[in-house]
Amino acid sequence: MKRICEARLRSSVVLCAASLLMGAAAASADPGIPPEVPVKGMVTMVDLGANSCVPCKMMAPILEKLQKEYEGRAAIVVIDVWKDKSQVKKYGIRAIPTQIFYDKEGKETYRHTGFLSENAIKTQLKLLGVQ
């Protein structure tokens, strides 16, 4: 069963990547994006995905939970690259979802493409000093 799920996730990432490259919706600024990403002086995790992407949908409740859990200690920023295509070029995205972690100084420390579990996200945040 695990292999089937992993294969589905891999194919979903490929489908999301293909859709991303082909284009989906008109670009528009996402009002939920903080004006400065990474957030100055704060560990930041940016998740770049889309509402129609299967692994992105799977991550949505995890990211919502973590946004609340880490409020004030780390910034968890979700960007829908189908709503704002300028973010694709800005972050050098080739497939979605892509997660980028930044330290407090704004330096990229880790980048991952595909589904990322809650535990894996927490591990990266802990490595960056977030308790």
Provide φ and ψ at 88, rounded to 5°.
Answer: -60, -50
Alpha helices in the chain, H assignment, sequence order: 2-22, 54-69, 86-91, 118-127
- For each of the domains in the chain, give its residue range(s) and CATH number, in order of start: 2-127 (3.40.30.10)
Active site positions, annotated: 53, 56
Q: What 3-state class would DSSP assign to 21?
A: helix
Averaged in consecutive runs of 10 residues, what is the pLDDT profile of the chain (131 residues)?
Answer: 41 39 35 74 96 94 97 95 92 96 97 98 97 87
pTM score, whole prediction: 0.76
> Taking each helix axis from N to C terminus, what angle separates 118-127 and 54-69, rounded to the nearest 10 degrees?
50
